[in-house]
Structure 1
Amino acid sequence: MGHVSGMVWLLTVLGIIGLLLFDFFFHVRRAHVPRLREAALWTSIYVSIAILFGAGVWVFGGATMGTEYFAGYVTEEALSVDNLFVFLLLLGSFKVPRADQQKVLLVGIAVSLVARTAFIFLGAALINSFAWIFYLFGAILLVTAGNLVRGHGDDSDEAPDNIVIRVARRVLRTSDTYDGDKLVTYRDGKRVLTPMLLVMVAIGGTDILFALDSIPAIFGLTQNVYLVFTATAFSLLGLRQLYFLIDGLLDRLVYLSYGLAAVLALIGVKLVLHAMHQNNVPFINDGEPIGVTEIPTLASLGIIVGVLLITVVASVLSPKGRARTYVAGARRRATEFLDVETDPEYCDELYHQLLGDEAHLNGLPEKYQDRVQRHTDLRELLDRAHRVHDERVAAGRCFVRPERSAA
């Protein structure tokens, strides 16, 4: 069943819009800090919906369509996790309070979904018109894979500053402070935009740029536009919940870039082989198809899942991953405690999480402790956090938990 009827398309689009609206009105409309249990519950629900949808595709569309959907979904989900690193840096750079981050992410994801849908139909039109586009998509993925490997050693904590963010900063005049999760506020009697709108544009715009890699990747696994759209949509829908579930583990995935590079390289090679099999480019083999063996989608799915599992397990077991997790966690929590959050109870929670991070840092092997000591800015940040906490306790503006502080 390669063809999908207009009614199925309509019901699918309405279902996705319904999920976005449900997310907004029942989770995001009221600003709050999502707890681990809430994030885990809703992440599992969205993943289950995606799996059940894939099972339906398999039953009604056949094994080929089912395999293509799951290969596309797993790949897009893995690329989405990599994108969460950038979201983490952006939200920290704009100093978005934790309770307001949900709305920022959901709006950014909705914008990205609309833009990616346009990219998907554009990509499909190009594929139908020009067979050589597979060579281009394959080259894009191979170059991206190389860049991921070369850029892996860069542990910079600086947020990206791409053209979307620079244009938004220039065009959107905003105030320096937030007013809850409002997009507009008043300063000196004048109506001005808050930084909330700017960070929404940054998240959405940055994710659109990610589509330049992810859309060619999924077209390398299936050329069925319906499967490309649904796999992309379901990978994005659960992204907000996934962010709050694993943001503390993101820095732990030190080998994720290598795994994604291998996946993108595999799909890039698959695209090039497919292009050779359907070749009509005049200066390649005189415009005649080349008899090459293509990589079956089922084999691609197995390799993708295997590579990602190995990557995650190796990262979790890595001492380097633990050290990086604790350093990044301590830096992030200290910054939130000092410069971002204002709710006394959540500040208290952050401070005691920070104490846990410091205890983990002190328990690292000596080699990694020496590396931590070279982060002089981190030591200064932690010292300032302790001083500010003591001042807040003395002023009665902070909760105290002596039993945890003593630990």
Structure 2
Amino acid sequence: MTQIGSPLLWSVFAVLVIIALIVDFVALKNQGPHRVTFREAVIWSAIWVALSFAFNAGLWFYLDGTVGREVANVKSMEFLTGYLIEKSLAVDNLFVFLMIFTYFAVPQEFQKRALTIGIIAAIVLRTVMILIGAILIEKFHWILYFFGAFLVYTGWKMWSHGGDEEESLDDNPLLKFFKRFIKVSDKYDGEKFFTVQNGVKIATPMLLVILMIGVIDVVFAVDSIPAIFAITTDPFIVLTSNIFAILGLRAMFFMLAELANRFSLLQYGLAIILVFIGCKMLLIDIYKIPVVVSLGVVATILTVTMWLSWKRSEQEKKAAEPS
């Protein structure tokens, strides 16, 4: 399939992302440190999703008028499928972010800025990783089989550990590594990354939070980026669907923080999605599963898993009520 990335499309995409980030930063500055309510998180989530769908619609109209409806239909479907996959796999990131905030006792009014900076870092790092991945796939087709096998293994591992309790950060080697080289204060100084104690400039816990979020996002990208390459190898679609999914992570986090207990089975759904995508990648030279089928499978798995999770949480709530 033709790769659609042209200077015009890349420029439009870059401008949209920059404008979105500027608006987000202006809103963040005007609001100042504050606790994000569930209602605010829902509104911002809807805005980011609407922006993503508007971009996809604009892409379809542009391709329909320039290269034909067949290409427009395929590329818009690839974007939608990739966006849904990246959005669903991002749930894992958010659970880990929640654990980090809990461990470091990050005040709720400071969490918004920490996530914003983490998202900026994620956009830069993922862009580099996606472009490298695209080059590798173009030169070494066999790497798709490696990605596929890796996703199947990751899905199996996620399923087998889906019911385990969250691990503590106390023994986390990454955290120990940072603390070995960075002297950290035992308290926050607003949203600052550094503070002065006894005349010495040292880091605040906020700096460690940002570093942990940035590195962990790259670790999770090792799973999610191969997953999108199973849908399409077009760098433009891979990058745009990935970045638009990331842009809404902050609002999605605050929604998930309120609803985390209601999605206890979502981990198993994500495991099934990873195995399905891995198998799709392994079969790519034997039978290419249509994008619309992939979209249907992913959407169905997510819907069923969330419904079962909701039913389970309702049953547990009733069982806990005094008779």
- Within 5 A, what are the aligned runs for 1:45-124? 45-61=47-63, 62-124=72-134
Whether the 8 Å CA contact 1:270–1:294 is kept in 2: the answer is yes
Whether the 8 Å CA contact 1:86–1:160 is kept in 2: the answer is no
CA distance in 2 between counterparts of 1:114 and 1:164 reads: 21
The one-letter code sitting in structure 1 at the alignment partner of 2:288 is E
The residue number in structure 1 matching 2:157 is 147
- Residues 132 and 321 (structure 1 numbering): CA distance in 2 closer, same or farther, change over 3 Å? farther
Instruction: Say which of 287, 293, 302 aligns to 1:293.
Output: 287
Bigger-Rg structure (1/2)? 1
- Residues 309 and 10 (structure 1 numbering): CA distance in 2 closer, same or farther, change over 3 Å? same
- Residues 248 and 25 (structure 1 numbering): CA distance in 2 closer, same or farther, change over 3 Å? same
Q: After TM superposition, give the deviation of residue 25 of structure 1 in Å.
A: 2.4
Q: After TM superposition, give the deviation of residue 107 of structure 1 in Å.
A: 0.8
CA distance in 1 between counterparts of 2:83 and 2:100 reads: 25
Whether the 8 Å CA contact 2:48–2:247 is kept in 1: the answer is yes
The residue number in structure 2 matching 1:194 is 204
The residue number in structure 2 matching 1:363 is 321
Q: After TM superposition, give the deviation of residue 160 of structure 1 in Å.
A: 8.1
CA distance in 1 between counterparts of 2:99 and 2:315 reads: 18
CA distance in 1 between counterparts of 2:313 and 2:97 reads: 25
The residue number in structure 1 matching 2:265 is 255
TM-score calculated relative to the size of structure 1: 0.73
Q: Determine if the alignment matches structure 1 residue 32 to structure 2 residue 26.
A: no
Give 3-state SS (helix, strand or coil) of 2:75's partner. Answer: helix
RMSD: 2.0
The residue number in structure 1 matching 2:17 is 16
Show structure 1 runs of 5+ residues with no match.
278-291, 324-359, 366-407
- Residues 315 and 3 (structure 1 numbering): CA distance in 2 closer, same or farther, change over 3 Å? same
Whether the 8 Å CA contact 1:58–1:67 is kept in 2: the answer is no
- Residues 223 and 160 (structure 1 numbering): CA distance in 2 closer, same or farther, change over 3 Å? farther
The one-letter code sitting in structure 1 at the alignment partner of 2:117 is V
How many residues get paired?
313
Instruction: Give the share of equivalent positions with the same residue, in percent.
Output: 36
Q: Which moved more, 1:14-23 or 1:114-123?
A: 14-23
Q: Determine if the alignment matches structure 1 residue 42 to structure 2 residue 48.
A: no
The residue number in structure 1 matching 2:69 is none
Whether the 8 Å CA contact 2:56–2:76 is kept in 1: the answer is yes
TM-score calculated relative to the size of structure 2: 0.91
Whether the 8 Å CA contact 1:69–1:227 is kept in 2: the answer is yes
Q: After TM superposition, give the deviation of residue 294 of structure 1 in Å.
A: 1.9
The one-letter code sitting in structure 2 at the alignment partner of 1:141 is L
Q: After TM superposition, give the deviation of residue 110 of structure 1 in Å.
A: 1.0
Higher relative contact order (CA 8 A, sep 6+): 2
Q: After TM superposition, give the deviation of residue 131 of structure 1 in Å.
A: 0.9
The one-letter code sitting in structure 2 at the alignment partner of 1:248 is E
Give 3-state SS (helix, strand or coil) of 1:293's partner. Answer: coil
CA distance in 2 between counterparts of 1:361 and 1:92 reads: 28
**1:122-146 superposed Cα distances (whole Å, 9 cap, x missing partner):** 1001101101001100011000000
Whether the 8 Å CA contact 2:5–2:235 is kept in 1: the answer is no
Show structure 2 runs of 5+ residues with no match.
64-71
**1:324-347 superposed Cα distances (whole Å, 9 cap, x missing partner):** xxxxxxxxxxxxxxxxxxxxxxxx
- Residues 25 and 130 (structure 1 numbering): CA distance in 2 closer, same or farther, change over 3 Å? same
CA distance in 2 between counterparts of 1:24 and 1:194 reads: 22
CA distance in 2 between counterparts of 1:220 and 1:64 reads: 14
Q: Determine if the alignment matches structure 1 residue 228 to structure 2 residue 186.
A: no
Q: After TM superposition, give the deviation of residue 156 of structure 1 in Å.
A: 2.7
Q: Determine if the alignment matches structure 1 residue 313 to structure 2 residue 307.
A: yes
- Residues 361 and 26 (structure 1 numbering): CA distance in 2 closer, same or farther, change over 3 Å? farther
Q: After TM superposition, give the deviation of residue 57 of structure 1 in Å.
A: 2.3
The residue number in structure 1 matching 2:66 is none
- Within 5 A, what are the aligned runs for 1:251-400? 251-274=261-284, 277=285, 292-319=286-313, 322=316, 362-363=320-321
Q: After TM superposition, give the deviation of residue 361 of structure 1 in Å.
A: 8.7
Whether the 8 Å CA contact 2:147–2:278 is kept in 1: the answer is yes
